[in-house]
Amino acid sequence: MNTTQLLALDAWQLSTLLTRRELKAEALVRACLERITEREGAVHAFTALDPDAVLATARALDAGPVRGLLHGLPIGVKDLFDTADLATTYGSSIYAGYRPRADASPVALCRQAGALVLGKTVSTEFAYFTPGPTRNPHNTAHTPGGSSSGSAAAVADRMLPLALGTQTAGSIIRPAAYCGVVGFKPSLGRVASGGVKSLSPTMDIVGGFGRSVRDVSLLGAVLTCDARLSGWRDLSTSDSPRIGFFQTPAWPQADADVQRAWAQATRILSVQAKDCQDVTTPFNFGDLIQLQKDVMTFEMARALSHEHIHHRARLSAPLNSLLDDGMAMTGEQHAANLSTVAQWRQRIDALFECHDVLLTPSTTGIAPEGTATGDPLFCRSWSILGLPSVHLPFTTGHKGLPVGLQLVGRFGQDHHLLAAAQWVQERLQG
C-alpha cells in the first residue's frame, strides 16, 4: 500500500490494520510525515513537530503489545493542551518556548490508549478570535475557522487521522464545517480537562476531529473512558433515530449554501428515518446567544487575569477589549446568568422527549475568504447548554468548499448521538 492509499483510509480503518498487525505504526507515521513535508508550507497546521521522537515511539509500539483503542494512530494536539515533550504556547507569544512538566489529562489518556502525538496544532490566541497562520486546505485563500484551526486543517488535509480540539463557543464544530471533517463535542463534563488552558469552566469542552463518525467515536471513547461511544459497530441499519429539524431563530442568517444543504438533508432523512418533525422553537431560545457571550466574557476575564494584568501589551486588541468588558461585569450579574443557564439546561431537555437528536446548522455558510475565523452563531446556544454535538460534512457550496450540518444530542447521551450520527452520515453521504 503506497502513501496515498494509506492516507486515504479513515482512522477506524487504520486502527483495524494496526491492531491486526497488518500495518506498522512506524509506516503510518512516516506516511503522515511525508504528507506534512509536502503540504505544511501551504496549510501551516502545526506549531511543533518532533519526527525523530514520534518515530522512536512508533517503533516501540510495533515491538510491544496492542495498547488500546488508539494503538499506533498519529494524532494532533491543539496548542491549548499541555504536552511534556513539545512546547505549548496557547497561541500567544507570551508563552513562546514554554515546556510544561506534564501532559494534559486528555493527552495522557490518548497516549495510554496507544496514540502517537505527532505534533502540536495551531490555536488562535488563547482560543479566541485572533487567528494563527493556518489556512483552509481546500482553498488557502479561505479560513479554516477557529479556534481549533490547525487540528481541523491537518485532519482535512490527511496529514494525520485524528486531532484534539476544544470548544467554548464554536471552536470544534465551526472549523470542522469549514474544513469538511467530522467534529465531535462531547457533553459538558464528560472529559477531564486538567492541563488544558481554561477559558470558561461553564462551557469549555474537549473533543476532536476525524474524517468519519467512526473515527471520532474511537477518540471519544478514550476521552470519556466510556466504551459505549465506540459502539457504532452494533448500530442496526434499520434502527433509525427520531430526528427533530431545528433551524433555530438564527436561520435568517444562514446563506444559500447552508439552505441548500438543509433542503438536501431534510429531503433524504424525511424519507428514510422513521420519525422526522420540525421543532417548535422554545420561547426566548434566541436569548441563549447573548447569554453565552456574557458568561464567556466574564469567565475568560478571570481565567486570563494573569495575562491581562501582566502582559496586556502582548495581547491582541480584540482580546484586551473582551477582557476589559469581562472585568467590568459583577459577580452578581454572573451568578444570575448561571442561574438562567441552569434553568435553560433543564428546560431544553424536554425537546428530547420527542426527538433522539436535533438536526441544526453548524455555520452561516462556507469558510469565509481571508483569515477571520468566522461566526460561531449556530454553535453558541449548544455550547452554553453543554449538549453533545457532531458536525457532519456531506456536500459542497460555491467555490467547492465544504458544507454540512450538525446533530445535537441529549445531555449525557453521547453514545446515542454518535450512533444516530453514524446512521445519518451513511444516508447523507450515500
List C-alpha distances in Å: 108 to 32, 74, 233, 379, 383: 21, 14, 26, 28, 25
Helices within 24-90 (DSSP H only): 25-43, 51-63
List the catalytic residue out of 147, 187, 383, 389.
Answer: 147
Cα–Cα distance for residue pair 395/402, rounded to 1 Å = 6
Check the CA dihedral 272-179-290-204 and report its sign.
positive
Exactly one of 15, 92, 171, 362 is catalytic; which is it? Answer: 171
Nearest 5°: phi and psi at 38? -70, -40
Residue carrying C-alpha cell 481546500: 138
Active site residue 187: no
Residue partners of 266: CB distance under 8 A and separation at least 6 = 245, 276, 359
Q: 185 catalytic, yes or no?
A: no
What is the C-alpha separation between 408 and 404, in angstroms, rounded?
A: 13
C-alpha cell at 332: 452578581
How far is 409 from 421, CA to CA, in rounded Å? 10
Dihedral of the CA atoms 352, 349, 357, 276 (nearest 10)?
40
339 is catalytic: no
* 264: CB partners within 8 A, 6+ apart: 394, 395, 428
Complete edge-to-edge strand list for the sheet that includes strand 46-49: 46-49, 116-121, 74-78, 162-167, 205-210, 182-185, 389-396, 402-409, 357-361, 242-245, 275-278
Contact 289, 203 (CB under 8 A): no
**What amino acid is encoded at 354 in this protein?**
C
Q: What beta strand segments (E) does 20-177 contain?
A: 46-49, 74-78, 116-121, 162-167
Rounded Cα distance between 64 and 420, Å, is 36
Q: Which residues of 312-351 are buried (b: 16+ CB within 10 A; e: fewer)?
A: eeebbeebeebbeebeebeeeebeebeebbeebeeebeeb
In degrees and rounded to multiples of 5, residue 242 shows phi and psi of: -85, 120
Q: Which three cell numbers stand for residue 195?
A: 492541563
100 Cβ contact partners less than 8 Å away, ≥ 6 residues apart: 82, 83, 84, 88, 195
**Catalytic residue numbers, as ranges:** 78, 147, 171
